[in-house]
Amino acid sequence: MTLAPHEQLKGHDRPLDAKRVPRIRQARTTPPWWFALPALLLFAFVVLVPSARGVYYAFTDWDGLDPHFSFVGLDNFSDMLRDADATQALWHTLLIAVAITVIQNAVGLVLALGVNSAIKSRNMLRVFLFAPAVITPIVTAYLWRNLLGPDGAVNSMLGAIGLNGWEQDWLGDPDLALWAIVGVIVWQFAGYSMVIFLAGLQSVPREIHEAAAIDGAGPVRRFWSVTRPLLAPAFTINLMLSIIGGIKLFDQVYALTGGGPGHATDTLSTLIYKDAFTLGEFGYSIALAVVLTIIVAVVSTGQYLMLSRNERATS
C-alpha cells in the first residue's frame, strides 16, 4: 500500500533541512579521526622516530659501536660523490631496475595473454607459472647459484645438447653476472606480473572484442586498440612494483654473487650492507641509505604521476 505524502512524514515534526542532510550523511559515514590515533602512534614509534634518528647519523662519523662520534655535516655525502664504488653501485642499481621492469612485465604480459586463451590446461599453467613467486627469494637465489655454477645444471644441459661453446661461469664473469641476476629475478616474478595482467584481461568485456572482430580488426589491432587501454591500471601497478623492487633489490644479489666478482654486481643495497657491517662505516652507509630512499621516492612519485596521467588519457 502506498502512503500519502503527509503519512510518509509521520513521526517527524518537520521535514529535514536539505542543508543538514549531507552533514548527517557525512557524520554517519566518516569515522572519527582519533580512531586512527593508536595506529599513528605505533607507526611513529616504530618507523618515523627511528628513521629520523637514522637520518641524523648520516651526518656523523659513527662506526656503529663507539658511543662517541662527531657531527661531520655533509662530509659523508661529498665523499659519496668521489667514491667510485658508490657511483658504480648506483649505475648497477638503475640498470637492474630498468631491465627487470621492462623484461619482467613483457614476459608477464605474454604469459597472461597465453593463459587467458581457451586452452584446456590454462588453470594448471597458471599455477605452474605463478609457483616461483611464492618461493622465498633467498631460497631461489641459493638454488640458482648452484644451477649457474661452472659445474651446475645449466652448463651440463648445454653440454648435453652439443652447445659446449655456450658454457659459461655465469656468476663469475663480470660481464654476465649482472644479467644472470636479472634473469633469476625475471624467472621468479614474471608469474606475479602475469597474475596482475590476467586480472586486468578478465575484466575486459568480451563483447567489445567481438564487435572489433566483426569490424575487421585483427588480433594485433584488437590488442593495441581495445585491450591495451583497458589494461592501463594493471600496467600502473606492475610498473610501480617492478621499479621499486628493482631499486631496493638486496637479498637475491647478495646470495647469488655477494656483489662480486669484484664490485661487478654491487648495488646500493649491497654496498650499504658492506659499509655498515664489514667496514664499520655506519655514518657513511646511512648516508647511502638516505640517498637510496630519496631515489625510490622520486622515481616512484614521478612514475605514478606519469602512469596516472596516461591511465586517465586512455580511459
**pLDDT tens digit string along 68-125?**
888 888 999 999 889 899 999 999 999 999 999 999 999 999 999 998 887 778 888 8
Q: Give the per-residue pLDDT at 23.
A: 58
Cα 29 from Cα 47, distance rounded (Å) = 30
Q: Each residue of 204-256: pLDDT tens digit?
A: 888 887 888 888 888 888 888 888 888 888 988 999 899 988 888 999 999 99
Confidence class of residue 186 from pLDDT cuts 50, 70 and 90? Answer: very high
Q: Cell 590454462 belongs to which residue?
A: 122
Q: What is the percent of the chain where pLDDT is above 70?
A: 90
Q: Is the pLDDT of residue 140 over 50?
A: yes
Q: Give the per-residue pLDDT at 207.
A: 83
Where would I find the H helices in 148-223? 153-160, 177-202, 206-214, 219-222
The winner for highest mean pLDDT among 2-6, 258-262, 266-270 is 266-270
Q: Give the per-residue pLDDT at 1.
A: 43
Q: Is the pLDDT of residue 3 over 60?
A: no
The answer to whether the CB of 95 falls within 8 A of the CB of 89 is no
The answer to whether the CB of 100 falls within 8 A of the CB of 180 is no
Q: Give the per-residue pLDDT at 291.
A: 92
Q: If you count DSSP H runs as helices and E runs as strands, how many of each does the chain have, helices first?
A: 17, 0
DSSP state of 44: I
Q: Give the per-residue pLDDT at 9.
A: 46
